[in-house]
Each structure stands twice: as C-alpha cells, then as structure tokens.
Amino acid sequence: MAGLGLAKRWLSAQLLLLMTLSNISDSTVYLVAPAAVTLEEQSTANITITSSSLVNQSAVIQLNVTYSSKRNYSTVITVPEQVLLPVDATSVSFNVTAHDVGQVTTYLISNNTDLNSLAVRIRFMVIHSNILSVISQVIGWMYFLAWSVSFYPQAWENWRRKSVVGLNFDFLALNLTGFIAYSVFNIGLFWVPYIKEEFLRKYPNGINPVNANDVFFSLHAVLLCLVYISQAAVYERGGQKVSWTALFLLLIGWTFAFISLFLAVAKQITWLDYLYYFSYIKLGVTLVKYVPQAYMNYRRQSTEGWSIGNVLLDFTGGIFSILQMILQSYNNDEWKLIFGDPTKFGLGLFSVAFDILFMTQHYCLYRQPPQYEAVTGQGD
C-alpha cells in the first residue's frame, strides 16, 4: 500500500510538472531562424526570422556577433545590427551581403520579455564558390560509398573459397573494436540531444561533425565485421587465432573506455569528452590494425585470402576523403579543417598509406604464388 501511495504521488507530481511546462510554453513566443547560411563572395541573401505566434508589442531583435574568423566581421559580411518585428507580424526579413571568405556567428537577442530568443543563432559562412561546395558534397558521397562497398569483396572472397586462411584474425578483432568505438561516437553526437547541446555549449561556433551517413557507415561496418567473424567461425581457418599482442591492445582499449565511463558517471569528465575518447580509440586502432595483415602477407610471401578489391575500394575512399577535406579547407579558407577531425583525417591518411603497401605486395612483391620443387625418389 505504501508503494501504491508513492506511485500516486509521483504520478501527480509528473502531471503537475507537465501542466506547468504547458502553461510556460503557451505564454512564451519562440524565434526561429536558419541555423546556417552559406554565401559566395560578393553575393547577397535574404534572411527571414519567424516567431511562433504574434507578440503583444513590437520587438527589437538584435543580431549580436559572437564570433568572426576575421578581426573585423564587417570585412566578411554586412549584417544589420538589429531588425524590428512589428506587433501584427510573425516574421521579419533582412538582407546580408558577403564580402570576403570567412565565418561569422550571431545570436538573436530581443527586448521583448515574452519573446524567447535564447540559443537562437545564425552562422554565416562565406565561401569561394558554390560549385566547389557541391563538388565537395559529391566527393563526400563517393568516399562514403567506396568505403561502405569495400567490405563486400572480402566477404565474397571468404565465401567463394570457403576459407579464411590468409585473413589475419588480429585484424578482424581490432577492426571490430575500432568500428564499435566509432559507432558509439557517431550515435552519441547524432542522436542524443543532451550530447548535442553539450557540444554546442563547448563549441558555440562549431558545427556538429557527425552526419547521417557517418552513423550508417559505422553501423554498417560493425555488421560486416560480424559477418567476417561468423565466416571465420565456420570456414577453414588453418589454425589461426587472435594473438596475445592483439588481445593485450584490446584490453588496453576497453579498459580505457570503461575507466572513462566511470569518470563520466562521476562527472569528472563530460559525456562529450567520453565520446571523443571513443573516437581516439578508433584512431588508435586504425594506426595498428593493418600491421598484422601486412606482416602475415610478408611471412607467407602471398596475399591469397586477402581481397585486393577491398584494398582498392578502401584506397579510393581514403583518397576522396582527403580530397574533400582539402576542397573544404580551400573553399572556407580554413586549412585547420584538415586537422579539425582527427578521426576522419587519420582514417583517410593511414588507410591510404597501408593500401599502397598492400597493392605493392599484391601486384609487385608477391605477384606469383610461392613455387615449390617436386620431391622425387632417389632411383628416378
């Protein structure tokens, strides 16, 4: 009975809270504005700010500049200091003119107490060319497709041979851990509202680096890694197993992840920091995961069992990834963008380096399979 009484009181409290929030939301008018506006140099754009309902008096909305990539934001873009929202209107429009490549962030501030403009910002990005921006987006989808498809040739190779001899088990274990860590990072920044708000508080002038295709790619990679492992469980493996070295590295990675989790729960670090630690685990895995496979190829003097199709598609994706970062850096005149996402840059750079090594092994060093002399009897 006591438990039932507590449940009733808890339910009543929740209903009261909902009614209170409802009354607050009914009396508050919210502003809506485009989060990001991209313009070419020497171009003009019309921006509209909209209110959720009519206001009881005209409102002055100030565009407070909080960040500029140039010392004087007016050299990047001309924006009005304030605009007027009439009492009988729910929107107001104004023009902005772009001058030079750069970025300017403004926050909306209103003198009307009924108008909630908190956390409403407009980020203006002036670029060299819209055409380059479109090309960059196309390249982004190309490397996304190349990297996604790159998992299938190895699965096909395993199925065709009914064998995983030649596919290093250390690589499989490290690769799975790496993509699990990358998935945790992407899911947190893309789907968890609290984490997204935390990112905005820490980087008020930044843009969330995770897109929908990043989430799909990482989850798809985890799925295909599990397919590899299931194939390794049922096909001929030639006595292969995960080495103690790889197990030790995995232990370090997961111990670091669990310690970071306890620190986040204890509020010694933020959950955003916790997610970024997972991205560093992924980068660390990328640094070492190809080494066992390259060494196995060297020891066997053969790349049989290691799909060259996987390597070629991975190489293509890495090249396009690096090319996109270069185009974005030039178009935004922000070359630090290349190093702004260490996981993405590391994925591209180290993948390309090892792919070149694997192509050299396959097409040059071990082009012909090892030849063995037939042993004949003494009397022949």
Amino acid (one-letter) located at 334: E
Indicate the helix (H) or strand (E) that contains 49: strand 44-51
Written as one string, the DSSP assignment of 110-160 is ES-TTEE-TT-EEEEEEES-HHHHHHHHHHHHHHHHHHHHTTHHHHHHHHH
> Residues for the chain: how many in total?
380
Mean pLDDT is lowest, of 61-70, 112-121, 257-266, 324-333, for 112-121
State the first-to-last Cα distance of the chain, in angstroms, to the nearest integer.
98
Q: What pLDDT score was predicted for residue 328? A: 82
Considering the entire predicted model, what is its pTM?
0.76
Q: Report CA dihedral (176, 227, 359, 149) to the nearest 10 degrees.
A: -100
| Mean predicted confidence (pLDDT) in 114-123 | 74
- Per-residue pLDDT, 341: 57
For the chain, give percent helix, strand, coil, nearest 5: 60, 15, 25
High-pLDDT (> 70) share of the chain, %: 83
Work out the percent of the chain whose per-residue pLDDT is above 90.
53
Query: What Å distances lie between residue 174 and 7, 212, 242, 282, 368, CA to CA?
Result: 47, 24, 10, 9, 29
Contact 24, 54 (CB under 8 A): no
Type of residue at 23: N
Mean pLDDT of 105-129: 82
pLDDT of residue 296: 95
Residue 13, pLDDT above cutoff 50: no
From residue 143, alpha-carbon distances to 91, 148, 179, 356 in Å are 41, 8, 17, 17
Is 96 a residue whose pLDDT tops 90? yes
Rounded Cα distance between 294 and 303, Å, is: 9
Report yes or no: 80 and 21 within 8 Å, Cβ to Cβ.
Answer: no
What is the CATH code of the structural domain delimited by 29-127? 2.60.40.2030
Rounded alpha-carbon distances, angstroms, from residue 175 to 146, 211, 298 = 17, 22, 20
User: Where residue 21 falls among pLDDT bands split at 50, 70, 90?
Assistant: very low
| Residue 361 DSSP label | I
Q: How far apart are CA 371 and CA 374, in angstroms?
A: 10
As given in the structure block, the two tokens for residue 186 are 């992407």
Are 279 and 182 spatial neighbours (Cβ–Cβ below 8 Å)? yes
Residue whose entry in the numeric block shows the structure tokens 């959720």: 52
Domain residue limits, the chain: 29-127, 130-365
Per-residue pLDDT of 163-218, as tens digits, reads 999 999 999 999 999 999 999 999 999 998 888 888 877 876 666 778 788 899 99
Query: What is the pLDDT, as a whole number, of residue 380?
Result: 44
pLDDT at 35 over 90: no
List, in order, residues 6 or more apart from 31 with CB less than 8 Å away.
49, 50, 51, 52, 61, 108, 110, 115, 116, 117, 120
Query: Do the bridges between strand 29-32 and strand 44-51 make them parallel or antiparallel, or are there none, so unpaired?
Result: antiparallel
Among residues 48, 58, 51, 53, the alpha carbon closest in space to that of 87 is found at: 58
pLDDT tens digit string along 248-295?
999 999 999 999 999 999 989 999 999 999 988 988 898 899 999 999
The DSSP letter of residue 238 is T
319 vs 181: CA distance, rounded Å:
23
What pLDDT band is residue 2 in, cutting at 50, 70 and 90?
very low
Tokens of 214: 């990043």
